[in-house]
Amino acid sequence: MTRTAVIAGVGPGLGESIARRFCEEGCTVGLFARSAEYIDALSTELGDDALAVSTDVTDPAAVEAGFETVRAEFGPVDVLVNNASGGAWRGVRDISPEAFEEALDVSAYGGLLCSQTALPDMLDGDGGTIVFTGATSAIRGRDGAIGFSAAKFAARGMAESMARELGPEGIHVAHVVIDGGIRSSESDDEKLLDPDAIADSYWHLVTQDRSSWTLELDLRPHVESF
């Protein structure tokens, strides 16, 4: 079965690894990111099954246009990965209201816009999969990162709510807790998670049997203690 996926928030690391894995599995993939330069190069490398679409996930019109571009090229969307995150690495005494709002906009509001825009395709078809990329901060607030923590908590709550609403409609919604840092091309530190291995887990979520869907998946490197 050929699937069409949109990965919202593609950059070096996890977003790239998910795109590569999905293409390897025969998917056609829309690559969303604000900056066109990186995704243009990645799309060229991945070939005809990948499409770079410069998209600001916090802009409703841009999100709608992005999905229309993917549909025109590849057809209805079956899989959405909400991978975009807003940083705001400051504590409550230092963060500006604007930075706090931006963090929420990217992770939560952007996830809402992308999910709402993908849903008609999934509901009209044979269901689909929506995956939210979470973090340790989604379940345990991080000191000095109130914006990031609040945004990840919000996205986790959205995923849980959507899973209960959409599961009966044949749409699998899952939240992935990335409990640790992710390796880059410059590091093979065992204390960091391998983005390719994380991408393997994302693909497993897409292919799970409907009788045993995962709501939340917690991933951490083996050297870390629980």
Q: What is the pLDDT of residues 119-169, one digit of tens each?
A: 999 999 999 999 999 998 888 888 878 999 999 999 999 999 999 999 999
Q: Give dist(CA 25, CA 203) in Å, integer.
A: 9
**Strand-by-strand arrangement of the 79-82 sheet:** 50-54, 28-33, 4-8, 79-82, 128-135, 171-178, 216-219
Token pair for 16? 């790239």
CB 194 within 8 A of CB 153: no
Query: What pairs with residue 132 in β-bridges?
Result: 82, 175
Mean pLDDT score, 23-28: 97
Q: Give dist(CA 115, CA 117) in Å, integer.
A: 5
**Which amino acid is located at 102 in the chain?**
E
Domains of the chain: 4-219 (3.40.50.720)
pLDDT at 15: 95
pLDDT at 188: 67
Q: What is the pLDDT of residues 176-193, one digit of tens each?
A: 999 888 787 666 676 888
Q: Which residues contact 188 (CB under 8 A, 6 or more apart)?
A: none
